[in-house]
Amino acid sequence: MITINLRPGLKRKTAATPMASLGQWFDGVKSKVKEPMLLLATGVAALVVAFLVWQIVGMTAERRRLEPQVDAKRQEARRFRNIVAQKRREEQIRDSLVSQIQVIRTVDGDRYVWPHLMDEVAKALPPYTWLVNIQTLTPAPSPDSVDLAMTPQDVQFQIDGRTVDIQAYTRFLRQLEASPWLRDVSPISARTVVESDRPVTAFAIRATFNRADSAYIRTVPLSQSVR
């Protein structure tokens, strides 16, 4: 492209660019400012202040956005604390009931030792055989020494009886041994004595009361309706 200068006495001016204008502006500012470092420090401070303001505004907006979630979490935590407190109260009630039930079982176990014992002896007694005495050989536990973690103490006892048939005596021994409530059944003595002008066999048997397995325990209601 050919450019023709119609005014040869004048130099052609070049078009001003944006970068050139910005450079001229910086040159003007530099010529007016006596301390450039102060201007730099002021600019840095302004940028820092602007950044802090931006951070504060952003954090405020974020806090407002998260406040509903925080409130929901607080309510949930409060609800869980109530649930835990209620569960602890229920556990305390349960432990108290378990302790009371254990005490009742211990007392009832000791209370019904002799009814079970007499019932088993009566069921094992054959015909033409009668009892003279039943006595315990182990002292019964005192109420102050009851251990709640143990079953009722085994009771060792002795049976003194009479029979007119020696085979009834041996049958009595076998039936006592077959009872799930008795163990360690052993004969002590058997001799012939005269009672009411007739010979009979006087015998002594020792055994131990043993709480039977739950399969042998039969429970009945305390009260029944009568029609």
CB 117 within 8 A of CB 181: yes
Average of pLDDT values for 153-157? Answer: 80
What is the number of alpha carbons within 13 Å of residue 26 lying toward its C-beta?
A: 6
pLDDT of residue 45: 81
pLDDT of residue 143: 41
CA separation for the pair 137, 157 (Å, rounded): 5
pLDDT of residue 137: 85
Query: What is the rounded average pLDDT for all residues in the chain?
Result: 77
Say what percent of the chain tops pLDDT 70: 66
Q: Is the pLDDT of residue 107 over 80?
A: no
Average of pLDDT values for 193-218? Answer: 83
CB 201 within 8 A of CB 162: yes
3-class SS shares of the chain: helix, strand, coil, % to 5: 55, 20, 30
H or E element in which residue 9 lies: none
pLDDT of residue 227: 54
pLDDT digits (tens, 9 = 90+) for 41-79: 777 788 888 888 888 888 888 888 888 888 888 888 888
The class of domain 112-141+152-213 in CATH terms is alpha beta
pLDDT of residue 121: 93
**b/e per residue, 89-100, with b = 16+ CB within 10 A?**
eeeeeeeeeeee
H or E element in which residue 180 lies: none
Average of pLDDT values for 69-92? Answer: 88
More confidently predicted of 62 and 223: 62
Least confident of 17-31, 102-116, 165-179: 17-31
pLDDT of residue 172: 95
pLDDT of residue 124: 94
What predicted TM-score, i.e. pTM, was given to this entire model?
0.47
Q: Is the pLDDT of residue 193 over 50?
A: yes
Angle at 30 between CA 24 and CA 33, to 5 degrees: 145
Angle at 187 between CA 182 and CA 191, to 5 degrees: 145
Q: Is the pLDDT of residue 187 over 50?
A: yes
